[in-house]
Structure 1
Amino acid sequence: MSYVYPVTDVPASPGPTPWQTVGPFFHDALAYAAGPQVAGPSVPGRIRLAGTVFDGGGEPILDALVELWQADQDGRFVSSPGIYEALEGFRGFGRSMTDSGEYEFVTVKPGAVPTIDGRAQAPYIALSIFARGMLRRAVTRVYFPGDDLDGDPLLASLPESRRASLVATPAADGYRFDIHLQGEQETVFLDVGDR
């Protein structure tokens, strides 16, 4: 038997909870102690990878989270427990909040990693973007100018006009990679099957 409560008996809502709305709960739910420090001070060849996350109207998204996964300079991935190691080393993983629309990581340029069937790929960094209103993360890659991009299987599968959305631009202290979630400059995103 169900009972319908009179309006006066309904307790006041404490506010939205994660199951009631999509974000922005990233600062609380996905905190990561090392934050954007993917490569600590003891790692040679550190660079800065930074950019802005834009919405479909070209406005910066002020409360997104960008997550980074990458191989080290020799093309090796760190095992999962290693991502929690001391700040001095290389973790291969980081998280950056976009409080002003900007994200940034201190990392290294990765070495090439072969595909699962052994084919050569250009060095890349994988990024996941979590933002308000998105039910699933958006996943993309960052490639670097000057590498052999023509031989990369993923880039070769894209129309030439779309490839540039995956290539970073040089900056004074590393590289810049802006992320456009929608619109005319939309970044290419990958279907990684996490539904």
Structure 2
Amino acid sequence: MSEPRAGLRTTPSQTVGPFFSSGLVWEDGPFVVPEGTPGAFRIGGTVYDGAGVPVPDAVVETWQADPDGRFDHPDDPRGAVRWKDFRGFGRCATDPDGRYSVLTVKPGPLPVAGGGREAPHLDVSLFCRGMLVRLVTRIYFPDEEANATDPVLTSIDPARRATLVAETAPPGTAPFGYRFDIHLQGEHETVFFDL
């Protein structure tokens, strides 16, 4: 390996910077379903750093089953999605105040190998500066009896489960149906999965 020439230095390694969103964000990204889809609602919240400060340049991705519990993917053994214009995937950049939202419909429960079911949920990936890899979590819905038997949710320390359950949005915040804040670190840190 040759030595650098006098006066030149090696470029330092960096984590993901604020420039990365240009390749990840697109106009219809926050629409898992089109506006006007029956049963559609918005789920959104704020991404916070470890000090509780909103993160203005994060990207939140969601992946979910349709209301019948099927994924818009050719490898889903239950067959094709039957919902018109259902994409199953959403991507939203946070705004200057750290807020994001996606327009979606509630997914159906998913079968579990060996029997049983997973409660309806959204799979979430989070990207932002300062991180070398994405963070992965889930959003569960507060009004689901199946949460009590979901194999993933029940494997979490009971004191931390609430970090994976959205809140019903307060009246007057329509079209929001649910609020889900993401805390990267700190006292209220969201549970993230090591995949």
TM-score above 0.5: yes
* Structure 1 residues without counterparts, runs of 5 or longer: 81-87
| TM-score relative to the length of structure 2 | 0.83
Pair 1:5 & 2:8 matched: no
- For residues 173-195 of structure 1, the C-alpha deviation after alignment (integer angstroms, 9 at most, x for no partner) is 31000000100000111111xxx
- For residues 10-55 of structure 1, the C-alpha deviation after alignment (integer angstroms, 9 at most, x for no partner) is 59x9xx99x6442223321213352101111352100100100000
Q: Bigger CA drift: 111-120 or 55-64?
A: 111-120
Shift in Å, 1:117: 3.7
Report the AA paired with residue 181 of structure 1.
L
The residue that corresponds to 1:106 in the other structure is: 103
| TM-score relative to the length of structure 1 | 0.83
Aligned residues between the structures:
179
Report the AA paired with residue 153 of structure 1.
P
Q: In the superposition, relative to structure 1, how do residues 114 and 182 fare at CA in structure 2: closer, same or farther (>3 Å)? A: same
Q: In the superposition, relative to structure 1, how do residues 106 and 4 fare at CA in structure 2: closer, same or farther (>3 Å)? A: closer
In the alignment, is the contact (CA less than 8 A) between 1:24 and 1:132 conserved in 2? yes
The CA RMSD over aligned residues, in Å, is: 2.3
The residue that corresponds to 1:178 in the other structure is: 181
Structure 1 counterpart SS, 2:17? coil
The residue that corresponds to 1:95 in the other structure is: 91
The residue that corresponds to 2:45 in the other structure is: 51
Shift in Å, 1:6: 3.6
Q: In the superposition, relative to structure 1, how do residues 21 and 42 fare at CA in structure 2: closer, same or farther (>3 Å)? A: same
The residue that corresponds to 2:152 in the other structure is: 154
In the alignment, is the contact (CA less than 8 A) between 1:26 and 1:64 conserved in 2? no
Report the AA paired with residue 183 of structure 2.
H
Q: Output the CA distance in 1 between the equivalents of 2:68 and 2:144.
A: 15
Shift in Å, 1:4: 4.5
Structure 2 counterpart SS, 1:156? helix
Matches within 5 A, 1:14-163: 20-41=14-35, 43-79=37-73, 89-100=85-96, 101-148=98-145, 149-163=147-161
* Structure 2 residues without counterparts, runs of 5 or longer: 75-83
Q: Bigger CA drift: 156-165 or 113-122?
A: 113-122
Aligned match of 1:165 in 163, 170, 173? Answer: 163
Shift in Å, 1:109: 0.8
In the alignment, is the contact (CA less than 8 A) between 1:138 and 1:189 conserved in 2? yes
The residue that corresponds to 1:84 in the other structure is: none
- For residues 42-79 of structure 1, the C-alpha deviation after alignment (integer angstroms, 9 at most, x for no partner) is 52100100100000000000100000100111111002
Shift in Å, 1:3: 6.0
